[in-house]
Amino acid sequence: MQYPSYNPASDFLPLSDDELMALDELLVELPGDAVMNIEALDGFLAGLLLTPTPLAERPGEDWLPLIWGGDGEGNLPFSSGKQKKRALMLILRHLQSIAIQWQRNPQAWEPILSVADDGDDEVADAEDWAVGFMCAVDLAHAAWEPLFTDPKAAALLEPILLLGAAEDELDEAARERLSDPDERDALSRALPDSAIALYALYGPGKPG
């Protein structure tokens, strides 16, 4: 099917809490192991917006099907064309809501992360978010390469790269850091400020 491309000038309204929950439930119900959950989707969309190559220049078919693990026969993995269109609209609206928040009120933006109650405190874990973000990086690795070698950008990317990397890509020191729940919590809580700083320094229209 012909997928819509991202339009930064669209007048899409941000998702309400109920709509965000509906999108979460829709993704959870889709069959397949490669379907992103709502946390990974949130990270993926953030990564797309931060990619040095403007997302508006990429056709929707390059990145939208990755969210549900690729297209199958007919409307699969969706149960109907209607369900697929609803998913597309909710995803595009959520994408635009992230972009608008970063532009207008970045300090109010909060990524969708997993939070567990350990009895005394809440412990954040941004692994799924970071994995989604790295899916966006993998789509345009050459465009990201200058940021990996820029000391300022590399420091900001560190929490995302650590949490989103496959275990076999990590050295022993990194694996030890991630095995510590307090360290994972600290990296996860550093992630929002890192993403906002990356947008401020390297986002659309920024000189870098």
- For residue 207, pLDDT over 80 is answered with no
pLDDT at 118: 67
pLDDT of residue 205: 59
Domain that holds residue 118: 17-202
**Is 4 domain-assigned?**
no
CATH of the domain at 33: 1.20.120.740
pLDDT for the residue numbered 202? 84
Q: 44 with 133: CB under 8 angstroms?
A: yes
Residue 125 lies in a domain: yes
Compute the average pLDDT of residues 101-122: 85
The CA–CA distances, whole Å, from 34 to 30, 38, 52, 120, 141 equal 10, 13, 26, 34, 20
Q: 174 in a domain, yes or no?
A: yes
Residue 85 domain-assigned (yes or no): yes
| pLDDT value for 206 | 61
Q: Is residue 119 part of a domain?
A: yes
Lowest mean pLDDT among 60-64, 121-125, 142-146: 121-125
Query: In this predicted structure, what is the pLDDT of residue 181?
Result: 87
- What is the tally of structural domains in the chain? 1
**What pLDDT is attached to residue 13?**
86
For the range 63-67, what are the long-range contacts, defined as Cβ-Cβ under 8 Å and sequence gap of 24 or more? 63/136, 63/139, 64/3, 64/88, 64/91, 65/3, 66/36, 66/135, 66/139, 67/27, 67/35, 67/36, 67/41, 67/91
Residue 94 belongs to some domain of the structure? yes
The answer as to whether 48 is a domain residue is: yes
pLDDT tens-digit series, residues 169-204: 899 999 999 999 899 999 999 999 999 999 998 876
Give me the mean pLDDT over the 144-171 stretch.
Answer: 93
